[in-house]
């Protein structure tokens, strides 16, 4: 019997390129795909569920776990830590399901260094400079300083696109979702993700050398 090993799908993009909408649509249409659940040191908000939205822990526990290589990747955002528990992801992959990550180039590099074989990385680009500017400037309540910071961050993030396996230019949401789904379906057919092939081929070879 051939059993599939799951993969880790990373979507990265500059702010406003449409990554979040793509991720949401994928999770809705693909039952084999689940969103990665992060550990975090920030306070739990009303309605958030431990183990579903986040794994909540304090700063000391988080730092201990960093040293134990508990996290596949981790980062600090606005004074809080966020990290992906490696063991949780590993069990999902072993169970034949795929895990979706919405992380930046630094998180992607950390996963690449640790589990290259399970990683499929896609960089999503906005369709044009005009569209990117429109999206970056769009929230009227932001201060000039916030907008400037967001723009600088987008420029920095985009400089890392060559580190990814695939690039999608997001002209149209439905087309981009279909493109990511196609990549996902193809990557599932990669030889390293089909477990039990070696026994299956041995049977075939025995049958043809009788």
Chain contacts with its own copies (rule: CB under 8 A): 2, 14, 123, 125-126, 128-130, 132-133, 136, 151-152, 154-155, 158-159, 161-162, 164-169, 179, 182-183, 185-187, 189-191, 194, 197-198, 200-201, 203-210
Residue number, 68 or 203, with CB nearest to its own copies? 203
What SS3 class is residue 201? helix
Sign of CA dihedral 198, 203, 204, 209: positive
Question: Quick one: 47 or 162, whose CB is closer to its own copies?
Answer: 162
Least distance from C-beta 60 to its own copies, angstroms?
38
Report, in Å, the least distance between residue 169 CB and its own copies.
7
Residue 31, helix vs strand vs coil: coil
In this complex, which beta carbon is closest to its own copies, that of residue 59 or of residue 156? Answer: 156
Closest distance of CB 53 from its own copies, Å: 31
Alpha-carbon distance of 166 to 61, in angstroms, equals: 36
Q: How far is the CB of 81 from its own copies (least distance, A)?
A: 27
Q: Which residues contact 39 (CB under 8 A, 6 or more apart)?
A: 54, 55, 56, 57, 62, 65, 71, 81, 82, 83, 84, 85
Between residues 82 and 164, which has the closer beta carbon with respect to its own copies? 164
How far from 184 is each of 29, 62, 120, 190, CA to CA, in Å? 12, 32, 8, 10
**Least distance from its own copies to the Cβ atom of residue 190, Å:** 6
SS3 183: helix
Cα 73 to Cα 40, 69, 125, 183, 197, distances in angstroms: 12, 9, 23, 23, 31
CB closer to its own copies, 111 vs 179:
179
């Amino acid at each position: 019997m051939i059993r599939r090993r799951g993969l880790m799908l990373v979507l990265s993009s500059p702010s406003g390129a449409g990554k979040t909408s793509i991720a949401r649509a994928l999770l809705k249409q693909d039952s084999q795909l689940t969103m990665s659940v992060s550990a975090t040191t920030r306070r739990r908000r009303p309605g958030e569920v431990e183990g579903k939205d986040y794994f909540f822990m304090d700063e000391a526990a988080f730092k201990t776990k960093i040293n134990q290589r508990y996290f596949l990747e981790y980062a600090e955002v606005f004074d809080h830590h966020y990290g992906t528990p490696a063991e949780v992801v590993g069990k999902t992959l072993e169970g034949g399901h795929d895990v979706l990550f919405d992380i930046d180039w630094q998180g992607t590099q950390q996963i690449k260094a640790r589990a290259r074989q399970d990683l499929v990385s896609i960089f999503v680009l906005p369709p044009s400079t005009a569209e990117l500017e429109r999206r970056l400037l769009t929230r009227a309540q932001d201060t000039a300083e916030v907008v400037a910071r967001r723009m600088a961050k987008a420029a920095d993030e985009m400089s890392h696109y060559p580190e990814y396996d695939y690039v999608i230019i997001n002209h149209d949401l439905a087309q981009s979702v279909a493109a990511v789904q196609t990549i996902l379906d193809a990557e599932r057919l990669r030889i390293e993700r089909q477990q039990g092939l070696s026994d299956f081929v041995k049977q075939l070879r025995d049958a043809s050398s009788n």
